[in-house]
A and B are shown apart, each in its own frame.
Chain A
Amino acid sequence: MKTLTFAAVLLASASPLLAETHTIAPGDDAAERLQEALIMAEPGDEIVIGAGRYTLTDGLSLDVDNVTVRGEGMDATILDFSGQQGAGEGLLVTSDNVTLRDFAMENTAGDGIKSKGADNIIYHRIRVAWTGGPDPENGAYGIYPVESTNVLVDGAQVSGASDAGIYVGQSDRITVRNSLAESNVAGIEIENSRNAVVENNMVTRNTGGILIFDLPNLPVMGGGNVLVRRNLVVDNDTPNFAPPGNIVAGVRRGTGIMVMANDAVTVEGNVLDNNPTAGIMVIAYPQPYDDKTYNPYPRRVAIGENFDNRSGYEPQFEGADMLLAAFGGQLPTVMWDGLGENAITVVPSLQGWNVGVTGQGVGLEGASPSPATFAAFADALDRSQVGATADLEARLK
């Protein structure tokens, strides 16, 4: 019997290219069939979810490497979690080389899709929505890759997240592009991550548009080398609806692009319009902290040519009226809190102001705002390292 089994194994491993397609159609037990397919899939397999609306009461999960989960379009294949009872997210992916494409997740109880420790993952034309609009009861993150190397988000649409629509955390080599982030607290957020490019996205009706953050006391520290370019960051005017206690609950309504406590971030070629608090904000982490490995200051943030039509006309700050009066009714595009050595460089065409905060963790108390004179644009980005790698791009084809 031992010999026979061995032969069978040999036979099996001799045909590695016979990937299977598992097709799920709507109907009775569709949720169970889908979860079974996600569990029983083998590397190389594709799971196709047919057009239709699927009602799910429990979170789904995928833990098999090299699997594609594909719908028939993000407006055609809809996984509806409105009645979700358990789990912290709609779909959890914990395996590598996974492609998710062409389906939608609606109204998950917690996060939309979370991928953790899932390297080389692609989110392509995925829609995650809380359909009732901004609401603190909505889940925190829409698309949520964390602790991963190589992440590509392309053509996604996320709306209604009570924290960040597209959030990439504690990861390396990241591309977020061609996506629409609308009506979230934060549109797109890159946190404690390195080597990211955020490009060609439409980011609108959020509280804050694009956030590049580093936070203390996390397993992965030291975010930086991030390029933010050619995004449309317009009309981010939704009042902050994050539940208190979250770091983004402190984001001011109408923040376009915000860089906090990061190293080597370049912001260029973006169109900013109608962001009431600020077009571009560069600041230190504002809270007290006690993590010796943490640097709360922005370093080497380079602001290149960006087009800003109208921002800073209704800033959500104490003393806004006085500020507006001093600056002639509208604040300059670039706001810096004034903290950090070698924190920020800016092209001459953009105007800026310095909030004049007195120290890290102090807040606005005692601040003395003034027009800023910045050092000339000095790009510290290593462009060869930003973004998902070429092999990931090749899988999209």
Chain B
Amino acid sequence: MKRAGVALVLSIAALAGAFMARATPIGSVNQQAVLEGMPAQLSDYGFFADAVAQVPGKSVTPYRLNTPLYSDGAEKLRFVYLPPGAQAKADGENLLDLPVGAALIKTFAFGEGDDRRLIETRVLLHRADGWVALPYIWDEAQTDAKLSIAGGRRDVVTPAGKTISYRVPNKNQCKECHGLNGAVIPIGPKARNLSRDWLSALHDAGRLDMVPEVAAGLPVWEARASADLDSAARGYLDVNCAHCHRPGATASNSGLDLRWEQTDPKAIGIMKRPVAAGRGAGGHLFDIVPGKPEESIMTYRMGNLEGGVAMPELGKSTVDEDGLKVVRDWIAGL
């Protein structure tokens, strides 16, 4: 009976979706798909006017992050969808507060120009009872992406020319990074990691209540050479590590807190002993030894690919040499 009830709700939602798709212009978002059920195809949402070209539809706005999370060098195409008439709210330099019915969409692609292949698209849907994360894997023909609850693997060639078995996370693994105090939340769109121009444009379009004040934004990754090293490294750690290494999140039991706003040297790992690192410690005694990146557990784990040693644990089959260099240089200068 329980399952019959659920099935009924789902079929009603699907039916409604079908009607809406016919009744609304191409490129308009199926609001019902955002709010209910587990749509089987990415196209069910109607986020894109042209999905293969990743051209967003109505009410879907592309954005980029100053410092992005490293995912084996994948090109990442990010979009935020706001339902018609709805507005995001600024919360200082923190995460934008997106209304129920909003969605964040992120497509991972490898290859350039005509050779670009879309691998997966992850969606975060803001529903009445919280955020839901769903992974979609693109088909070989690049016509659509299919819901893949259990995730999967795809062989891809990275920009560095390495052929890897790229891991698409399963639905639960989404929560390993997106979980905070038991709930799923977005990670990326923090005001401090978005450009002021983009925030202003969203405000001008009436989709953001105000342009938030940001004391010190994260540096733009490509321009890190001209940023100060402390900001570049702390920004990198905030974006790549702090969704787990912070209170209330997946790696809270480590006592390591790598958030941008954390100022206690011990909490960010300086002369901090590991707790449950196992062989991940690599024979070293402290997370960060000032002046000695080669004796620091942090750089050892960032530079490793083995399960049980590699950090981050998920979303990485190759070493982020650029990120590792910034963190190494930063530790060397401490």
Contact = CB atoms under 8 A, between A and B. Distances in A.
A198 interface: no
Interface in B213-236: none
Contact of B170 (A15, A39, A290): A39
Interface in A10-62: 11-12, 14-16, 18, 20, 32-33, 35-36, 38-40, 42, 57-59, 61-62
Contact of A137 (B16, B252, B279, B284): B279
Given A217-B273, A245-B274, A246-B274, A8 B9 contact: yes
Nearest to A4: B12
Contacts of B290: none
Contacts of B284: 244-245
A116 interface: yes
A215 B275 contact: yes
B281 A243 contact: yes
Contacts of B4: 11
Given A35-B150, A244-B281, A217 B272 contact: yes
Nearest to A44: B2
A218 B172 contact: no
Given A12-B1, A243-B279, A219 B247 contact: yes
B172 A139 contact: no
A85 B307 contact: yes
A243 B283 contact: yes
Nearest to A243: B279
A169 B281 contact: no
B210 interface: no
A141 B308 CA distance: 10
A169 B170 contact: no
Interface stretch (B88-96, B138-146, B175-183, B196-204): B175-183
Majority secondary structure of chain A interface residues (helix, strand, loop or mixed): loop
Interface string A149-172: 000000000000011000101100
B165 interface: yes
A40 B148 CA distance: 12
B279 A39 contact: no
B279 A36 contact: no
Contact of A11 (B5, B153, B285, B306): B5
Contact of A146 (B173, B253, B266): B253
Contacts of A244: 281, 283-285
A109 interface: yes
Interface in B264-279: 266, 272-279
Nearest to A137: B279
A40 to B, nearest CB: 7
B6 interface: yes
Contact of A88 (B12, B313, B317): B313
Given A18-B1, A18-B2, A94-B175, A61 B308 contact: no
B307 A287 contact: no
A121 B283 CA distance: 33
B165 A85 contact: yes
Contact of B278 (A4, A146, A243, A291): A243
A390 interface: no
Interface in B156-197: 165, 167, 170-173, 175-176, 179, 182
A11 B4 CA distance: 9
Q: Which residue, of A14, A63, A139, A291, has the highest number of chain B Cβ atoms within 10 A?
A: A63
A245 B281 contact: yes
A136 B309 CA distance: 12
A167 B274 CA distance: 15
Contact of A140 (B172, B179, B276): B276
A246 B286 CA distance: 10
Nearest to B313: A88
A268 interface: no
A8 B13 CA distance: 12
Interface string A75-93: 0000000001111100010
A293 to B, nearest CB: 12
A5 interface: yes
A88 B5 contact: no
Nearest to A31: B150
Contacts of B149: 35-36, 39-40
A60 B164 CA distance: 21
Contacts of A139: 278, 308
A71 interface: no
Contacts of A86: 167, 307, 313-314, 317
Contacts of A108: 307-308
Given A61-B176, A88-B313, A218 B1 contact: no
A50 to B, nearest CB: 18
B273 A92 contact: no
Nearest to B250: A116
Contacts of B317: 85-86
B98 interface: no
Contacts of A1: 12, 16
A169 B252 CA distance: 12
Interface string B285-303: 1000000000001000000
A325 interface: no
Contacts of B165: 85
A187 interface: no
B151 interface: yes
A140 B274 CA distance: 12
A32 B308 CA distance: 21
A86 to B, nearest CB: 5
Contacts of B175: 63, 94
A9 interface: yes
Q: Which residue, of A61, A86, A247, has the highest number of chain B Cβ atoms within 10 A?
A: A86
11 contacts: A35-B170, A36-B150, A108-B308, A116-B253, A139-B278, A141-B278, A163-B278, A217-B273, A218-B275, A243-B283, A246-B274
Interface of A: 1, 4-5, 8-9, 11-12, 14-16, 18, 20, 32-33, 35-36, 38-40, 42, 57-59, 61-63, 84-88, 92, 94, 108-111, 116-117, 136-141, 144, 146-147, 162-163, 167, 169-170, 215, 217-220, 243-247, 287, 290-291
